[in-house]
Amino acid sequence: MAAEIARAAALLRAGELVAFPTETVYGLGANAADATAVAKIFAAKGRPADHPLIVHLPSAAHLPRWAREAPAEAERLAAAFWPGPLTLILKRQANVPDAVTGGQDTVGLRVPDHPLALALLAVFDGGVAAPSANRFGRISPTTAAHVREEFGDRAPLVLDGGPCPVGIESTILDLSSGAPRLLRPGAISAADIARVLGRTPAIAAPHADAPRASGMLAAHYAPRTPLQQVSSDGLLFALRDALVAGERVAVLAPTAQAISHDLVIWKQAPAEPAGFARALYASLRELDALGCARILVQQPPSSEAWLAINDRLRRAAAGSGADDET
Residues that bind ligand TXA (CB under 6 A): 22, 24-25, 27, 51-54, 85, 87, 89, 101, 104, 106-108, 112, 130-132, 169-170, 172, 183, 211-215
Sign of the torsion formed by the C-alpha atoms of 64, 66, 71 and 77: negative
Min separation Cβ 257 and ligand TXA, Å: 32
Nearer to Mg ion, 22 or 176 (CB): 22
Min separation Cβ 247 and ligand TXA, Å: 32
CA distance 225 to 212: 27
CA distance 96 to 99: 8
Min separation Cβ 140 and ligand TXA, Å: 7
Min separation Cβ 52 and Mg ion, Å: 12
CA distance 208 to 210: 6
Min separation Cβ 54 and ligand TXA, Å: 5
Sign of the torsion formed by the C-alpha atoms of 133, 2, 165 and 195: negative
By CB under 5 A, residue 132 contacts Mg ion: yes
Nearer to ligand TXA, 22 or 31 (CB): 22
Phi, psi of 283 (to 5 degrees): -65, -45
Q: Tell me, residue by residue from 86 to 125, as one string, x for binding to Mg ion by CB under 5 A and - for no binding.
A: ----------------------------------------
CA dihedral 22, 308, 271, 275 (to 10 degrees): 10
Nearer to ligand TXA, 168 or 251 (CB): 168
Helices (H), the chain: 2-13, 35-45, 63-66, 72-81, 98-101, 115-124, 144-151, 190-197, 232-245, 273-288, 307-319
Nearer to Mg ion, 113 or 150 (CB): 150
Nearer to ligand TXA, 107 or 250 (CB): 107
CA distance 1 to 275: 28
Question: What's the 3-state SS for 139-153?
Answer: CCCCCHHHHHHHHHH
For residue 107, the partner it binds in ligand TXA, Mg ion, none, with Cβ less than 5 to 8 A by kind, is ligand TXA
Min separation Cβ 149 and ligand TXA, Å: 17
By beta carbon distance, the residue nearest Mg ion is: 132
Question: Which residues contact Mg ion by CB under 5 A?
Answer: 132
